[in-house]
Every structure is written in structure tokens, then in C-alpha cells.
Copies of this chain bind each other. A is one copy, B any other.
Amino acid sequence: MAGTSEQPPKQPPKQPPKQPPKQPMNVLWIMADQLRWDYLSCYGHPSLKTPNIDRLAERGVRFDRAYVQSPICGPSRMSFYTGRYVRSHGSTWNGFPLRVGEPTLGDHLRRLGVRPVLVGKTHMVPDTAGMEWLGIDPGSPIGTTIAQCGFEPYERDDGLHPDGPYDPDPPYDAYLRGQGLDGANPWEAWANSAEGDDGELLSGWLLANSDRPARVPDEHSETPYLTRRCIDFIDQAEKQSSAGPWLCHLSYIKPHWPYIVPAPYHDMYGPGDIKPAVRGNAERASDHPVYRAFQDHRVCRAFARDEVRERVIPAYMGLIKQIDDQLGILFAHLEAKGLMERTMIVFSSDHGDYLGDHWLGEKDLFHEPSVRIPFIVADPRPSADATRGTASDALVEGIDLAPTILDYYGGDTLPHVVEGRSLAPLLAGERDAPWRRYAISEYDYATRKTRMALGIDQADARLIMVCDARWKLVHAEGFRPMLFDLESDPDELDDLGADPDHEAERTRLLEAIFTWARRHHTRITLMPDEIEAMSGREPPGILIGFWDEAEARAAGVWPVAPE
């Protein structure tokens, strides 16, 4: 046959068609500070409309029972940032340093090649004594990472910058000065002050001034400023074509007090727009010593007054509205840059604000306005398509976010360290996935006036909340527990903690706390597979319980040979 002896013409080896390199997946984790779960329209607020956050919820899952591990900034955030319960990381109150050597989400992400970046607040206080003891220079890269709770601080701003040593002279002050908004303390003079009728400064620290506009123009106020800083970071990161994936924690310092907001947000809402206080006379007359003592805190007595609620809550709503407007700008930017398809967006808070509900202000106990948060996860991957726009009533904890993010980046969820659970099964709509039956939150009131009023030891000033699908119990060291039936009493007005008819529920929920308290939580130096590899055998050369050579030979360990 003709040509049979001919070699086939040489062809170049097959090459895959040229494709652009796969672009990295990112995470944008937005946190609002002291935002109640129910002050967004997607969570049912009747008069406050938050269309941008609502649209995020339509793209992801809205978690309807998300609880923080402490209703206080510092410990709640340390739980978010470590994926660990407060009793595990040990930073039980604002300003209690996170011990050096406590592993953070940022540490885990760095090992996965992800850049964990902070824009805004963490409330982290470094363990400088621990660093000194271990010879770690706070100015070194490792020292900075420890001091910033694992994050790379693109911009750190914890939000409160009064005169004095608290958190002086942030970059934001320099920014204000650059805009001509100067003074000895630009934050106090512009962001935290209004003007009186005679041009005098009115302090944002004072609740009576909450209906006045802050002196700072909207565009230079904190929420737009941090939003722009976030956009700056994203644009810079995306410009570096070789850059790997990032996580940006945009951590707004609002709607946390001081309750003051610039125009036009200061009078967008009025007393007619606020929800009535959720509180009952039986609560006022409660015999629970801890609850009574907290009611007596100054801020709680203030928020028990209607004039305070009517002056403050509209400003609180304005601050939230401003965040929603800014998120509209941020989301539009992500869309314009083509980042929406490869960025998981999380919206959360660190805890709520009583705002006068239950005769309380601030966030010292575990009613829903305090311990429950808005929590939305919009995962762009097809695996989450089935759940877009849905709500989940699974019991979610703040510590679940860290393993969810590790999971998203393809990492191990590190169950020997990280105590939360990846939300991936819930995002994928796996309805039969096993899930926790109890959520836990803790509160250390050692530094609070309540502890001093009750005259108890620092070590005993502890509360632990446990809740399940229906019941919520608060264990109070040295006192009777509090108990609420969220089904028959969703407003938590009827404390059944001393009701003889509910002994069985209390016993069951206390047993759940006991089970939780017994679990490992400091055994963090070995992974489960390392422990498995040690199981059922002794190290090479070690023989235990053998009578003679024959026994050892029969067991295959004789003669002893080095490995």
C-alpha cells in the first residue's frame, strides 16, 4: 500500500487551549458592631429599610438563629477570630489580652496561602507580657500578627478615640485633619460632636444629643471612610496579578455607641419609627439577683426611660441605614470589578443592643436582642445555588464562621483547635446533615458593677447560656438559672427559672452545659490523625506486659528491632 512505510507527519504535542490563570476565590467578611439581629428589613424590621443587605440575603442564606459566644465585643470577637469558645481562648472581657499562642483564623489562613486583611475593628488587646516572656518582638512581623489577632492590619480602627490613653490618634484623625476637620481631637470634635443652637459643641457621649447631626459631613464620617479603605485594599490586591486569595474583614465600628450620626441620617427616623420596647412588669419585679443588679446599671436605667429610647434609637437606625447605603456602593464596586462571582460575602454582627428591651441597655445578658445576631452568608459557588435566598433556623454560632472559611479555601477545619462547625452542609442545603442541638454563650461580669453590688468573687461572676430549638437557659454561678420558652414566649418575658413545672427542662439544659464543659478544648497540639496514628500501640522498642520471648515473638514484637 502506498505510503505505508512513511512515518506519519510529526505533530506538535497536544497542548491545552490557552486559558487565563484561574483567579483566586476571596472572602469579604463584613461585621457591624452592636447591631441587633432584628434591625434589618430582611430580618423583619417594619420601618428600617436595608435593601442592599436584603439583596445580599437573596444571594445567600439568612441564618435566623445565629448566636454569639459572648454578648460583649471583645470575647465575642475573639471567638469569631479563633473559632473557639470563650472558655477556651480565655479572653473573657474587653481588654483582657488574648494569650500569646492562641491560634487564630488568620494564622490558619496564612498557612493556606490566603492573605487575612483587617479594615476596622477587632477589639484585640495583645498579650505584651506573654510576648516579652517568649522573646517575641512586638514590632516584628510575627509580633504584629499576634498583636493584631492574626490579621494584617490594612487599617485598624476600634472606633472609640476619646481624649486620654484609650485609643488615641488613629489614622482616621489624620484623615479628618487632612480634610480640614481639625482640632486637638478631630474624632471627638467632628465625628463625636454635634453643634448647639449657638454653635457650641454638644458631645456624642450624651444621649440627649443623639437627635443632632454629627458635625462631620457624611462622606468623611467613619462608615464611608472604612468602606473606601476596604475598596482601596481590594483594588490594590486585585492589581497584583500574582496575588493569591485574600480575606478582607471589613469591621465597621457602627452602630455601636456613641449614638450620633451625620446628616442626612440623623433625622431620617423619628420616635414614630421605633419599635415599642419589649418589656414587662414581671421583669421589672424579677427576683433574680443578677438580672435585678444589671437593671440597676446606669445605662439600663437610662434606656428604661422613653425619652432616651425616642432620642437614641432613631440615631441607631440612621447609623444602620448609612451602613446599608455604603454596602450598596461596595457591592456595586465588586460587581463592576467582576469580583462577585469569586467572593464569598458574609454579613454579621458581634452582638446586639438591648435599647431598653427587658429594662436593659447595652448587652449584658442573653435575651435575643443581645445574644442573637444577623448572619448572612452568600457563597458564590454552584454548590450553594440550592439555598440562595433561603433562611435557615439551624442553631449557628459565631465560631462556625472560621471553619466555614477554612473549608471554603479547601483547608482542614482543624477540629482539635477550632470548635465551630463548617456551615458548608447548610449552605449546600443538606437537610439531613447532623447539626448541633445546643448553642452556647458565656459572660464574665467580673469587672461589672453587678458583681460588686452582689459582693461575689471575681471567679464566680459567670453566666453560661444554652439554648436549643425551643428553650433557653442561663446558668448563673451561685444563683438559680433563668429559663425561657421561646415557643410560647418568644419575647422572653416570663422567666421560668424557678417554676417547679419546668424542672425537667432545666435538668436537661444544665446537663447540656455539663456535657459541653467536659469537652476537650485545650488539647490543641495534635491533630486527630496524629492521635489515631498513636492509638493501640506503643512507641518502637517499648514492650509492656510481655512475660517472655515466646509471648513477644507471638505478638510480632520480638526481637526488638529499631525502626
Contacts and interface: CB of A to CB of B under 8 A. Distances in A.
A87 B522 contact: yes
Contacts of A433: none
A92 to B, nearest CB: 5
A540 B129 CA distance: 23
B447 A536 contact: yes
A100 B99 contact: no
Contacts of A446: 531, 535
A95 B533 CA distance: 12
A8 interface: no
A340 interface: no
A41 B393 CA distance: 65
Contacts of A464: 518
Interface stretch (A25-33, A268-276, A295-303, A485-493): A295-303
Given A135-B140, A164-B541, A302-B546, 13 more contacts: A134-B134, A163-B562, A164-B563, A165-B562, A166-B541, A205-B546, A206-B552, A207-B546, A299-B544, A301-B545, A447-B531, A462-B518, A475-B518
A278 interface: no
Contact of A163 (B87, B541, B547): B541
A536 B449 contact: yes
Nearest to A445: B535
**Complex copy number for this chain:** 2
14 contacts: A99-B522, A135-B140, A136-B136, A162-B560, A164-B540, A166-B541, A203-B560, A205-B552, A207-B547, A208-B547, A448-B536, A449-B536, A458-B531, A510-B514
Contact of A207 (B95, B103, B539, B545): B545
Nearest to A527: B129
Contact of A545 (B133, B302, B543): B302
Interface in A488-540: 510, 513-514, 517-526, 528, 531-532, 534-536, 539-540
A137 to B, nearest CB: 9
Interface of A: 87-93, 95-103, 107, 127, 129-130, 133-136, 140, 142, 146, 160, 162-166, 203, 205-208, 257, 297-303, 305, 308, 361-362, 444, 446-449, 451-452, 458-459, 462, 464, 475, 477, 510, 513-514, 517-526, 528, 531-532, 534-536, 539-549, 552, 555, 560-563
The prevalent SS among residues of A at the interface is: loop
A107 B132 CA distance: 12
Contacts of A477: 518
A545 B299 CA distance: 4
A206 B543 contact: yes
A536 B452 contact: yes
A123 to B, nearest CB: 12
A254 to B, nearest CB: 16
A439 B458 CA distance: 22
B524 A92 contact: no
Contacts of A519: 459
Contacts of A523: 90-92, 96, 444
Nearest to A160: B542
A134 B147 CA distance: 12
Contacts of A547: 206-208, 302, 305, 308
A129 B525 contact: yes
Q: Which of A135, A142, A298 has the most CB of B within 10 A?
A: A135
A482 to B, nearest CB: 16
Scoring A458, A513, A547 by chain B CB atoms within 10 A of each residue's CB, the highest score goes to A547
A146 B449 CA distance: 39
A11 B36 CA distance: 80
Nearest 9 Cβ contacts at the A-B interface? A162-B541, A101-B101, A299-B545, A90-B522, A517-B517, A164-B540, A205-B543, A164-B562, A97-B525
A203 B559 CA distance: 10
A517 B95 CA distance: 24
Contact of A525 (B99, B531, B539): B99
Nearest to A541: B162
A399 to B, nearest CB: 15
A298 B96 CA distance: 49
Contacts of A140: 135
Nearest to A125: B525
Contact of A560 (B107, B163, B452, B545): B163
Nearest to A297: B545
Contacts of A89: 522
Contact of A514 (B136, B361, B517): B517
B540 A166 contact: yes
A432 to B, nearest CB: 20
Contacts of A102: 101
A333 to B, nearest CB: 34
